[in-house]
Structure 1
Amino acid sequence: MKTGLVILREQAGHETGSHPENANRFPGVLDRLGEDSMKHDLPILESREALVEDLLRAHTEYHVENVRAAAENGPTWLDGDTVASPHSYEVALRSAGASLVAVDAVTGPEKSADSLFAIIRPPGHHATADRAMGFCLFSNAAVAARYAREQLGIDRVAVLDWDVHHGNGTQDILYDDPSVLFVSFHQWPLYPGSGWIDEVGVGEGRGFTVNLPMPPGSGDLEHIEGFNAIAGPILDQFNPGLLIVSAGQDGHVADELASQNLTAAGYHGLAQASAEFAASRGIGLVALHEGGYNPNTLPLLDHAIYAGIGGFAPDLAGDAPAPETEEIGWHERLVQIRRIQSAYWAV
């Protein structure tokens, strides 16, 4: 499986000060993944600016203009968690554009890679069609999915989100769309408060939103079991022409913004399972960076994902150990999820 990176050199232009989502998240990541790329002779692609018309496939004109104006007059707080500094609009365009570079590279007869990992900020999965929130300005995953559908003519696109926070923005944009399957693993309850099992889509999109709200304390075992029991079979039945992963690593045991117990091995397992599914279908995989706020552990976690989608052996030495397994109510939750989803899929 040939993989590679898409990098955003201008990411520091989105200035957020001491905010958890800040420019200090990625220098160590880029060093580690750059070493991986050199060692395994993997390509590193540059981002480009998305066009306004690309954003308008997922967002309202009002929202795009609101972010632009907020940045122009910045720093401006768009909500209690989300700031736009003077260069944030341009950086957000390049963050969304990196997702489009990745989609272009893994699809079509002239594709140059089987998978790509886009190291981008600001993240995107909380941004709704008309609102910036939760550190996010534009939904990179939804923009990429709509681009693949409407610009490239891919019939069905799947978005798999394993960030510890529910991807409410991506869900909001795609909620009535039967051509894009949205599957989310996330801690529940937790910000933003959405993503319960009965949120399955509306209208023609009913059944094409799959939420796996994970109990606090969930770790590698629970997430891999959820993939094998629910996400994987549904992906298989949906039969997408492209898989987009919203890769947030804030469910790691050492990340303080949540209370999950994933390790680097667990993230490698999720990435590997995603890549194996994509390879089995002969489709491209695009991983878009979302959360992950511990700069000491993020390089290792992103290395684990890069190795998982690229099929090379990871070096997971130095990871924080997961606590001993406790009863957290996961199997009862899995029964609930299966009961809801069995109305739409064979699970």
Structure 2
Amino acid sequence: MALKTGIVKGDIFLKHIPGDGCPDTPQRLKSIYSMLNDSDMQDIFVDVLPKKAEEEDILLLHSREYFEKIAETKGKELIAFTADTHACEDTFDAALYAAGGFLKAISQVVEKKLDNAFALIRPPGHHAEKSRAMGYCLFNHVALGAIFAQKILKLDRILIVDWDIHHGNGTQHAFERDPNVLFFSIHQAGLFPGTGIFTETGLGAGEGYTINLPIPKGYGDAEYTSIFECVLAPVAERFAPELILVSAGFDTHKDDPMGGMLMTAPGFAGITASIKKIADKICGGKIVMSLEGGYNSDALSGAVKAVLKEMAGITCCDVSAMAEKANKKKVDYVVRRYIEVHKYLWDFF
């Protein structure tokens, strides 16, 4: 059965041009938006017109001083925050519409106007800290979305899944003391920003509610799907979230220049199906994704298509069959390390 899957998109996101040499180019979204016009993608999805976030929305997470620092870039030529993170004259507006569009999608899913949604937006967000831009990211959409769901929509428990090849440091830091937000990140070990080791499990009351799986390069579709089934599914069922937010990065694709993973479009459908199975069982299917990385435009558009079709119920990946093809040694390494660290924090082992 086809589901009502919302898509946040807009030309404003193409106006963020971070300068020569930055992999986060407008072409990333142009390729995705072009793919949405394919014949097999017609009349399936619901457009969610991006809404500009208000200052008070951004201040749910970010400091006022930081907000004003980003706002000062409006209308100005290229400004560098770090060696890899820049703003141009339209970046501030793009970032506001990205955050606002994501919050609007969350509202519509929670209010059951949509079954699920995918915000195809930029600049990305998961590296942005409370008062610091980094890793191409300015405002942390997913972290803002979780706080918005807690404070404005009055939800109690939120699961954040980050499958980008890079660790979502900003998201982790936003919730590492919060036992009501479970943060699950699977990422390639040894890459930027250098955070997200197995033993980073949260602090204080939040201990145990941060799960980091830094994995060696060379993991593919079957391994990722198996890890989602072996690790994420049981802990998510125990946590029982009311909403699942996903930092969906596609730089784990085998053709992406950023890392050394072996994912393909069917694998992204597999991990989406695994998350969807969790959501259908626990929180009425409520999933909202936000685009993070993915820097090979052709690979990106194909992988996003596979995810969207899975979200909309057009395809239905056989998760078990895919997971059974995994290299057992690769999966066992991750599961064993996870259990070693978390067995004192969760009592179901």
With the shorter chain as reference, the TM-score category is over 0.9
Q: Does 1:206 align with 2:207?
A: yes
Structure 2 counterpart of 1:13, which letter?
Answer: K
Partner of 1:294: 296
Q: Structure 2 matches for 1:123-162, cutoff 5 A?
A: 123-162=124-163
Matched, 1:60 2:63: yes
What's the offset of the Cα at 1:338? 1.6
Determine the structure 2 residue equivalent to 1:261.
262
Question: Take 1:37 and 1:59, find their aligned partners in 2: how far apart are those partners?
Answer: 40
Paired letter, 2:142 = A
Q: Which moved more, 1:306-315 or 1:277-286?
A: 306-315
SS of 2:48 mapped into structure 1: strand
1:208-265 CA-partner distances (Å, limit 9, x unpaired)? 1111111111111221121111111111111111100110000000001111111111
SS at match of 1:201: coil
- Confirm or deny: 8 A CA contact 1:50 1:93 kept in the other structure: yes
What is the rounded CA distance, in whole Å, between the counterparts of 2:154 and 2:178 in structure 1?
15
- Contact kept? 1:212, 1:226, Cα under 8 Å: no
Q: Is the 8 A contact 1:230 1:338 kept in 2?
A: no
2 CA distance for matches of 1:206 and 1:270?
26
Partner residue of 1:14 out of 10, 13, 16? 16
Distance 1:36 1:287 in 2: 23
Deviation of 1:66 (Å): 1.5
Q: Which residue in the other structure is 1:306 paired with?
A: 308
In structure 2, the CA distance between the partners of 1:225 and 1:155, relative to structure 1 (3 Å rule), is: same
DSSP 3-state at the match of 1:116:
strand
The C-alpha deviation readout for 1:264-308, integer Å capped at 9, x for no partner, is: 111010111111211112141101100000012111010011012
Please name the residue that 1:344 is paired with. Answer: 345
Count of aligned pairs between the two proteins: 337
Superposition deviation, residue 42 in structure 1: 2.2
CA 1:34–1:237: 2 relative to 1, 3 Å: farther
Residue 325 of structure 1 deviates from its aligned partner by: 8.7
Aligned to 1:103: 106
**Separation of aligned partners in 2, 1:33 and 1:279:** 25
Q: Which SS does the other structure have where 1:4 is aligned? A: strand
Deviations 1:82-110 (A, max 9, x none): 001111111100010111111011013xx
Letter in 1 for 2:204: G
Report the CA distance shift for 1:66/1:7 in structure 2 as closer, same or farther (over 3 A). same
Contact 1:37 1:43 in 2 (8 A): no
Give SS of 2:213's match: strand
Question: Partners in 2 of 1:210 and 1:149 — Cα distance?
Answer: 20
Distance 2:326 2:226 in 1: 14
User: Per-residue deviation at 1:342?
Assistant: 2.1
**Aligned to 1:50, which of 53, 56, 71?**
53
Contact 1:8–1:95 (Cα < 8 Å) also in 2:
no
Distance in 2 of aligned mates of 1:310 and 1:38: 10
Tell me which of 66, 82, 95 is aligned to 1:92: 95
Aligned AA for 1:210? I
In 2 relative to 1, CA 325–120 (structure 1 residues): closer, same or farther, beyond 3 Å?
same
Q: Which runs of 5+ in 1 are unaligned?
A: 316-323
Question: Structure 1, residues 56-91: CA drift from partner, whole Å, max 9, x if none?
Answer: 111111221121224454411100110011111111
Distance 1:285 1:34 in 2: 23
- Partner residue, 2:321: none
Q: Which amino acid aligns with 2:14?
A: A
Amino-acid identity (%): 34
Q: Normalised by the size of structure 2, how large is the TM-score?
A: 0.92
AA partner of residue 209 (structure 2): F
Shift of 1:314: 8.2
Q: 1:164 to 1:328 in 2, by over 3 A?
A: farther
Q: CA RMSD in A?
A: 2.0
Q: What one-letter code is carried by the residue in structure 1 that aligns with 2:332? A: H
